[in-house]
Amino acid sequence: MSRISRALRRLPRHLPEATLAVLFALLFLAWSCLTLTGCATVLDTHIPPPLLRPRSYLGQVAEALSLVTHPFLIVIAIVSVAVFSFRRRMRRLSLALAVAATGIPLQTTIAFATHRPRPHTVFADSISHIGGAYPASHVTAMTLGAWVLVTLTRAHRRGTISVAQWTAIGSGAVLLTAACQWLMGLAHPSDIVGGLLLGIAMANLALSVGGVDSILSAWARLSLRRDSGGKRAAIVFNPTKFDDLSLLRRRVEAEVHAARWKPTLWLETTVDDAGHEPARRALAAGVDLVLVAGGDGTVRAVSSELAGTGTPMALLPSGTGNLLARNLGVPLDTDAALSLALRGRAGAIDAVRCETDDPNGTGVLTQRFVVMAGIGLDAQIMEDTSDDLKKVIRSGAYALAAVQNAAPDPFMATVTLDDGEPTEHPVVMALLGNVGTITAGVPLFPQASPSDGKVDLMLANPDRVVDWARLGAQILTGRVQEGFSTTSASRVRITTDRPVPFELDGDTAGTTRSLTVEIEPRALLVVAPER
């Protein structure tokens, strides 16, 4: 990971909201200068309000809506929710609502100070006509009220479409309020723009002060009974795999609520730890299920700790390959995967214990994998694959790295299967699979099963272009790899004549001259669709 990426991860998660608050505050100040100096009057001149009659049907509807959206009523509603939140120990949400509520008296103060007269209107006897025109009080208040509505409903909405729907509803309410103020002649268009800018600035300030994640998580957990006898899950997540972590939290908390589980334990991976320590913390907490939201590296780290413990694991695929999820039939859609995780049944699959040379020269390094391991060319391809490029073209990044290594140097591998006699093979790579399908859905080991008590092995040494073409065609069609040595065993030992790179589940792990893998039969419980 680059220094820039690490620096971005250390930035406060509320920085976007704080930035928007400052930006819209500056826009409000600039617009106020234009309006109060008369530069914005050209907008008011070109967009005059229509001649709306008070006793007409449209006039009565507009006046009724103006009364419903009166700032006094909206501030009472926001303060009421803030008090309710405080009493339910949702302190962050309460603080955010309190900050949002201050936007309405701030608007009143600004209107009193500027004392800009309202336009001439036949609705001068309306209660909405009281006070200065700039910034438009109803628009400011409704913007803040819509923000409260959208923020709270987002906490229970799982998908992007639902969030967009509620955002559209809130935006529509603001636009309808602005339209009523303009149709009734209670505010100039410039007043409405000023009210909108002030409302957005205060809404984002409230979000940045309260913290988006804290607000949404607290509200989503509100209806969960504290004395619930339900199960509890922990989620180990890689924050670099998500553009919107708050959306992930909303989805998880909504599904947890629907399944009547207790509040989720959130555990974040780091650059130096792909998930080992978070998984151990989850086990120490005694959770009933560990959700893994990350790529194949996170899955491997968590499964390494869970193997043999009896605690099941569920997958929320979030990486480039998602190989274990694909091989087990776990949905790649987050909502579907969540529903399966909390309501599905856990089945046992094999884990594979792997021993290699310790790079520090202190002996043997023991690790686990659940998908695939390899030495030689495939590990070199993994090493040369750009992480940034994977985000753009996903599995295509591996193909580009393969082209860069089109002429690999073979090495001599001595292979021992179970208790058999060692055999020597000149190879460019040795692949070991606990499952059959690799990146891009390619069936490398069509007969492999993650619960057959065997690890599959392929040795490859294509020394001509035609050999590489034949291997690629056979793999893509799912045919038996003719001309390439394939077998299976419960224990495989490979020694090489020189240090070669090796990888576990797609993560490069250095170099080694000795690789020993051994099946741990049905050691890992994973929630997956029944087959």
Residue 161: alpha-carbon gap to chain centroid: 15
pLDDT digits (tens, 9 = 90+) for 315-368: 998 877 788 998 898 988 888 888 899 888 999 999 999 998 876 656 788 899
Structure tokens at 408: 């690999």
Using alpha carbons only, what angle is made at residue 426 by residues 424 and 432, rounded to the nearest 5 degrees? 80
Q: In terms of domains, do 277 and 259 share one?
A: yes
> In terms of pLDDT, which residue wins out, 19 or 236?
236
Q: Higher model confidence: residue 30 or residue 225?
A: 30
pTM to 2 decimals?
0.58
Task: Return the top range by mean pLDDT from 301-310, 370-379, 437-446.
Answer: 301-310
As a whole number of angstroms, the distance between CA 48 and CA 184 comes to 11
| Comparison of pLDDT for 409 and 198, the residue scoring more | 198
Q: What residues pair up with 426 in beta bridges, in sequence order?
A: 412
What value does the mean pLDDT take over residues 116-129? 75
CA dihedral sign of residues 440, 444, 448, 450: negative
129: nearest Cα among 205, 48, 195, 185: 185
CATH number of 450's domain: 2.60.200.40
Report the distance separating Cα 103 and Cα 292, nearest Å.
41
What single letter denotes the amino acid at residue 405?
A: N
Nearest to 35 by CA among 188, 257, 206: 188
Residues 357 and 336 in one domain: no
Residue 37's alpha-carbon distances to 27, 41, 45, 223, 500, in angstroms, are: 15, 9, 15, 51, 74
Closest by CA position to 490, among listed 523, 513, 529: 523
Mark which of 218, 251, 283 sits at the end of a domain.
Answer: 218
**Residue 508: in which H helix or E strand, if any?**
strand 507-527
Rounded to the nearest 10°, the torsion over CA 4, 10, 16, 17 is -170
pLDDT of 158 higher than 50: no
pLDDT digits (tens, 9 = 90+) for 49-102: 776 776 777 777 877 888 888 888 888 988 888 888 787 767 777 888 888 889
Residue 3 lies in a domain: no
Does 321 share its domain with 437? no
Q: Is 372 helix (H, G, I), strand (E, B) or coil?
A: strand
Q: Measured between alpha carbons, how far is 474 from 481 in angstroms, rounded to an integer?
A: 6
**Are 262 and 283 within 8 A, CB to CB?**
no
Q: Of 318, 344, 370, which closes a domain?
A: 344
Q: Are 123 and 171 in a shared domain? A: yes
Q: Distance between alpha carbon 247 and the CA centroid of its chain, in Å?
A: 6
User: How far is CA 248 from its chain centroid?
Assistant: 5
Show the domain range for 236.
Answer: 223-344
Is residue 379 within 8 A of residue 503, CB to CB? The reply is yes
Question: In this structure, are 361 and 471 located in the same domain?
Answer: yes
Average pLDDT of the chain?
79
Tokens of 394: 């996903």
Report whether pLDDT(467) > 80.
no
Residue whose structure tokens are 């799982």: 158
Q: Is the model more confident about 39 or about 307?
A: 307
Residue range 250-301, pLDDT digits in tens:
788 888 887 888 889 999 999 889 999 999 999 999 999 999 999 888 999 9
Q: Tell whether 126 is covered by a domain.
A: yes
Question: What pLDDT is stored for residue 403 in this prediction?
Answer: 44
Query: Which residue reads 């058999």 in tokens?
Result: 420
How far is residue 214's CA from residue 265's CA, in Å, rounded to a whole number?
A: 14
Find out whether the peptide bond into 135 is cis, omega within 30 degrees of 0.
Answer: yes
Q: What is residue 228's predicted lDDT score, i.e. its pLDDT?
A: 42
Q: What are phi and psi of 500, to 5 degrees?
A: -130, 150
Does any domain span residue 260?
yes
Q: Of 53, 54, 36, 52, which is closest to residue 44 (Cα–Cα)?
A: 36
Q: Do residues 23 and 169 share a domain?
A: yes
Give the domain-ending residue among 164, 187, 218.
218
If one counts the domains in the chain, the total is: 3
Which residues touch 320 (CB under 8 Å, ≥6 apart)? 295, 390, 394, 395, 397, 439
Query: In the numeric block, which tokens belong to residue 518?
Result: 């051994």
Q: What is the rounded CA–CA span in Å between residue 495 and residue 522?
A: 27
Rounded distance, CA 141 to CA 79, Å?
A: 12
Q: Which amino acid is at 335?
A: D
Residue 312 and residue 362 share a domain: no
pLDDT digits (tens, 9 = 90+) for 356-402: 887 665 678 889 999 988 888 777 766 655 455 444 434 444 444 44
Backbone angles phi, psi at 217, to 5 degrees: -65, -40
Q: What is the pLDDT of residues 404-421, one digit of tens each?
A: 545 567 889 999 999 899
CA distance linking residue 4 with residue 209, whole number of Å: 25
1 in a structural domain: no
Distance, CA of 187 to CA of 121 (rounded, Å): 10
**pLDDT tens-digit readout, 18-61:** 888 899 999 999 999 988 888 877 787 888 777 677 677 777 78
Q: Which of 311, 220, 202 is nearest to 264 (CA)?
A: 220
CA atoms of 149 and 219, how far apart (whole Å): 12
Strands 346-357 and 507-527: antiparallel
Nearest-5° angle of CA 374, CA 378, CA 380?
A: 110
> Are 327 and 459 members of one domain?
no
Cα separation of 282 and 524, whole Å? 16
CA distance 302 to 371: 13
pLDDT greater than 70 at residue 434 = yes
- Are residue 176 and residue 87 in the same domain, yes or no? yes
Q: Would you say residue 366 lies in a domain?
A: yes
Asked whether residue 213 falls in the same domain as residue 237, the answer is no
The reply to whether 491 falls in a domain is yes
Q: Is residue 319 part of a domain?
A: yes
* Residue 62 and residue 96 share a domain: yes
**Residue 354, pLDDT score:** 92
Q: Quick check: is 49 in a domain?
A: yes
Kindly report the length of the chain.
Answer: 531
What does each C-alpha distance from 123 to 73, 120, 130, 181 come to in angstroms?
Answer: 20, 9, 11, 10
pLDDT tens string 482-507? 556 678 999 999 999 888 888 888 77
State whether 440 and 427 are in the same domain.
Answer: yes
Question: Is the pLDDT higher at 227 or at 337?
Answer: 337
Task: Give the model's confidence band at 440: pLDDT under 50 very low, under 70 low, under 90 confident, else very high.
Answer: low
Domain of 316, CATH number, reads: 3.40.50.10330
